[in-house]
Amino acid sequence: MGGSGRMSRLVFVDFMSTHTEPESRYTAEDIQVLEGLEAIRKRPGMYVGGTGLSALHHLVYECVDNSIDETMAGFATQVLVRLGVDGSCTVIDDGRGMPVDPMKSENPKIDGRPAIEVILTELHAGGKFDNNAYKVSGGLHGVGVKCVNALSAWTEVEVHKDGSSWGISFERGVCVKRLHKITDSGVTGSGTRMTFLPDSEIFPDTQFRAEMLESRLRELAFLNPGVCIRFVDEHVGADGKPRDITFKDSDGIASYVKWLNEGKVVQSSCIGVRRTDAERGFECDIALQYTDATAENLLAFGNNIRNPDGGTHVQGFKVALTRVVNGYAKREGILKDLVPSGDDLREGLTAIISVKLPNPQFNNQTKEKLLNEEIESFVSASVNEELTAWMDKNPREAKLICQRAILAAEAREAARKARELIKRKGALGDSALPQKLSDCSSDDVESTEIFIVEGDSAGGSAKGGRDHVHQAILPLRGKLLNVEKCRLDKVLAFEEINTLIQALQCGIGPDLDPAKLRYGRVIIMTDADVDGSHIRTLLLTFLFRQMYELVRQGRIYIAQPPLYQVIRGKQSKYVLNDRQMNETLAELALKHAVLVVRSEKGVTIRTIDGDSLRKALRLLHRLDDLSSVVQRRGIPFQKLLEARNSDPSKSNRLPTHHVVWSGGDLLAWGEKEAHDAVAARDMVLDELAVNTTGANGAPTARGVIASLRQMHETSELERIFGQLLEFGIDIDDYGLIQEESVTGEKLPSKYGWLMTPEKGDPELVEACSVAAIMKTLHDCGRRGIEIKRFKGLGEMEPLQLWETTMDPARRVLLRVTLESAAEADKLFAILMGENVEQRRNYIEKHALEVKNLDV
């Protein structure tokens, strides 16, 4: 009940009366013991928080955190994170390198095994259980890097140590290539390189998001002043170049706060709080600054690990901030009748809280909340002393902070009265729900959803096509208020926002209670034009600022209407995107076409159709993907194919390693050969030093530095080559060009599509090469069809809208998540705030990334 407009039912069950005899007994045979890393693969949610994008990126964070632990211990200064075009991730540091000497233990399971193998395969094995190897670290349980190994299709680790290079390889956590020495000479310095490919059997989506990783690496650079973190994404960006960014800052989290506030108008200087307790090993580093924003942005870290749920360090900060500011206001006679609350004092505040301690306690393996009680008093005392001293030395700014808090308290009181008025109006009217809401009839909250649509016309189509039992429709008129620029009392005065709040009935801001949300999913459904995008952005801004917890819980979705309608005669099909469009064209063509393989004289030697043809097309499609991967590495695919003739073993193999330096590159057929080739050219093999600069900004003077990259995709390419040859498709014909005979006539193609339409004579559509087979198939699919591109929901009939965008069995929804909350906060401030110059600069910088432009 609770004003939701629905009746809840209480059901009492007689436990004894429902007891039945179990089907089987519970005996020792039912007990399983998972060996090695099986437990991680069986229950990934327990170790990395699930199998979604957050868990996928957690694998990278575990590797990076190990490298950062080396920097905190004083043994490393550089970290490289590289996303390979084959879907892999590589993390390299110049630390001490994982130990490779044999273990000495009374446990026969690990005695005599290389330490690196134990680190990567045995749960709760690591160097962070005491304070000998690491005084402060983010790793606690000896589990993190094991998760990476267990949840990856393959993992390869290379260690540089004591003038030698060592390598070890795993597949799904099982060691497939024992520790071996790669080379004894030519190795300078020390460090660890770990490369892994997430397992598609575990993760539905194995594609890393560069933006998420970039946000985390930037954080680490700010949290560890002086450490150089380089991020390379080999996928081609909007400007046609791979992403290559180096993060390095000497001012620490003070620079982080200033970076977060770039899109806002600052109202105070950046206040720093730094304190160290050498006896207990505690460090506290806090930076805070007030802006013109109406929301607070507080980020907390424990031993460099982001704690999204806060913890004791955050509690200590909040208590001290409230005590100090209100105490100053009372002493100076600024306070009148209304005393600002902690929320009022943090309005517009951007703050970073970073603590380091020897034995941190977190709530789980993903370390979302810090639990150490002793750190609360340490942080509170530090903030109390440092902030009090700052306010005494800066009375003008201190008074402005107090006055701002008083204004926030007055606005809060006005907002409270506005909310009460809204509640009274709702209670006194015919219904607590808005009139324009077309509600659903189901009482099961988790099975229901509300579609927020723009305008009455789209709302009418949605109402006509919806499922009345589970789907509610709320049309909004015009554009929503930009809440980024308004306090809560003004927000509540806007009619359309009131309508939305009444429909959801979970409250906003400090009154938000997610448990009262009337629908399991809140779906934003707007047109795919500029106005629709603007309305969607305004809605997301409101939800992010005033219903943050709904976004955090994954309750907010964005509908994905189709981009195309394919019409053939009286039949039609809806297509979501360009990739599906190519698949659709292929399906249409295959109804009337078979693949023909011919001899050099044009005689048909094989016809491929049915399941065999579909398998061949899957291989060709994957071949296209992998050829693009090689091209993005900077290697022409034809050059890679030709390199097989240079295989030292005369086995016609593809090269496995790519060595790149400022003056050129080369291909190699193994680790040792790659190292030898670098040594023969008197070069240094060190990826960390590539494109980095010294303290004065000049390039590092270390001679010619080369970067070694393993081409993991070549093994899959060789498998595809063999399978295609079984169909008569020879990879040597990949870039074949139709030649002319001595008489000047064009010679027939070796491949083609035999089209047999329902009416008319058969026709052979020639494909001049293996690379052209898929393109000509799509051309065949376009024959006799009409392709309509949709622009907005208003062009769709109710049935069309249901079939394409609202039917749970066929639709596609995008869930709005908070993987990079700090980045999102800054982006909302830039795009929706008052700083016009900052917004213009952002648009100019990202103009080339626009995918859909409506002009």
Q: How many CB atoms are located within 10 Å of the residue 456 CB?
A: 13
Please report where in the chains the tokens 């180096």 appear, as a residue.
246
Q: How far apart are CA 699 and CA 79, in angstroms?
A: 17
Q: How far apart are CA 25 and CA 708, in angstroms?
A: 58
The bridge status of strand 191-198 relative to strand 242-247 is unpaired
Q: What's the first-to-final CA gap in the chain, in angstroms?
A: 49
Element (H, E) at 775: helix 773-781
Q: How far apart are CA 294 and CA 490, in angstroms?
A: 12
Can you give the length of the chain in residues? Answer: 855
Q: How far apart are CA 202 and CA 445, in angstroms?
A: 30
Buried b (16+ CB within 10 A) or exposed e, 683-701: bbbbbbbbebeeeeeeeee
DSSP 663: T
Beta bridge partners of 571: 568
Q: How far apart are CA 854 and CA 202, in angstroms?
A: 39
Contact 583, 573 (CB under 8 A): no
Q: How far apart are CA 114 and CA 120, in angstroms?
A: 10
Residue type, 229: I
State the Cα angle at 744 between 743 and 749, rounded to 5°: 110
Element (H, E) at 197: strand 191-198
Q: Is 104 exposed, middle or buried (0-12, 13-18, 19+ CB in 10 A)?
A: exposed
Q: How far apart are CA 800 and CA 811, in angstroms?
A: 11
**What are the φ and ψ backbone dihedral angles of 16, each rounded to 5 degrees?**
-65, -35
Q: What are the Cα distances from residue 513, in Å, to 208, 419, 536, 835?
A: 33, 14, 23, 32
Q: How far apart are CA 446 and CA 450, in angstroms?
A: 11
Contact 361, 370 (CB under 8 A): yes
Q: Residue 817's closest CA among 522, 557, 512, 533? A: 557
Q: How many CB atoms are located within 10 Å of the residue 386 CB?
A: 19
Q: How far apart are CA 767 and CA 379, in angstroms?
A: 71
State the Cα angle at 564 between 562 and 566, rounded to 5°: 125
Residues with a known catalytic role:
454, 527, 529, 531
- Contacts of residue 335, Cβ cutoff 8 Å, sequence gap at least 6: 326, 329, 402, 406
Q: How far apart are CA 611 and CA 617, in angstroms?
A: 10
Residue type, 214: E
Q: How many CB atoms are located within 10 Å of the residue 843 CB?
A: 12
Directed axis angle between helix 821-832 and helix 253-260, to 10°? 40
Q: Residue 767's closest CA among 781, 749, 746? A: 749
Contact 651, 702 (CB under 8 A): no
